[in-house]
Amino acid sequence: MNEPAASTPPGGAGSGALMSIGEVLAQLRVEFPDTTISKLRFLEAEGLVEPQRTAAGYRKYSWDDVARLRFVLTAQRDQYLPLRVIRDQLAEWEASGSAPGRQRPTLVAVGPGGEVPGRDAESAESSEVRLGRADLIARSGIAESTLAELERLGVLVSDPPGWYDADALIIARAVAGLAAYGLEPRHLRGYRTAADREVGLFAQLVAPLARQSDPAARARAAETARELVALSQQLHAALVRVGLRSTLGR
């Protein structure tokens, strides 16, 4: 159900004015053009924002609510933080009396304690990035022959053919970094095999939500996938560290 717009336009509203969900969407789409009403409702359902309700049940947002939403969307777009991490950061700043509108999300990187990893800023919306073959080679530093071998082994794929997304760039850069230590594409085929096994496992968990016609359910499926990827990265990093301890004599 569409909710009516507030009588006072946001541009002329005072700091205490309340906005409809449509007005909030207009505010956020300037910086986050892919935001939808379904996304805002999903974030509310997840407890990241709590707009007021009129007697008729319509949502009314304050400017603090908009600041919270902007913080959440920034953390997801720029750092790929899971919602539980974003929620914890918001709770910390609320406890300290700080306003999220004056804060930036804290980058969370993989560390000895298995912290939730961040993501390359260029992969904020991986499916929207399109790089030609020459661009991918130039930006990653890999050789044409290496790219061809990666594609032959299935470690890196183009989609559509001849075009690469931001995740392909991340893979290529990682391969370039590993190559500096003497690892060749043929050594990395196991990564592809392991990733395919995880994809099959995780797909069973998110497919029931992704198949639903409800946009909120599909948004939840996407968030679940992000959480699973983050947890998988933590597990993989910890297992590798444990495995290397005897080699390092620690």
Q: Among 7-21, 101-115, 158-172, name the most confident range.
A: 158-172
Sequence letter at residue 90:
L
Higher-scoring residue by pLDDT: 136, 4: 136
Q: Which tokens belong to 70?
A: 């902007």
Q: Give every CB contact of residue 240 below 8 A, 6+ residues apart in sequence.
A: none
Query: What is the C-alpha separation between 185 and 176, in angstroms, rounded?
Result: 10
pLDDT digits (tens, 9 = 90+) for 30-72: 888 888 888 898 888 888 999 999 888 889 999 989 999 999 9
**Angle, helix 21-29 to helix 63-79, in steps of 10 degrees:** 40
Please, what is the Cα angle at 241 between 237 and 108, to 5 degrees? 40
Please write down the long-range contacts of 10-19, taking CB distance under 8 Å and 24 or more positions apart: 15/63, 16/62, 17/63, 18/52, 18/60, 18/61, 18/62, 19/60, 19/61, 19/62, 19/66
28 phi/psi in degrees, rounded to 5: -75, -30
Q: Answer yes or no: are the C-beta atoms of 239 and 61 closer than 8 Å.
A: no
Q: Give every CB contact of residue 74 below 8 A, 6+ residues apart in sequence.
A: 104, 105
First to last CA, the chain: 60
Q: Which tokens belong to 171?
A: 């893979």
Higher-scoring residue by pLDDT: 10, 225: 225
Residue 103, pLDDT score: 53
pLDDT digits (tens, 9 = 90+) for 85-108: 888 888 887 777 665 554 555 544
The average pLDDT across 154-169 equals: 86
pLDDT category of residue 118 using cuts at 50, 70 and 90: very low
The answer, yes or no, to whether residue 128 has pLDDT greater than 60, is no
Percent of the chain with pLDDT over 70: 80
Evaluate if pTM is beyond 0.85.
no
Longest Cα separation, the chain: 69
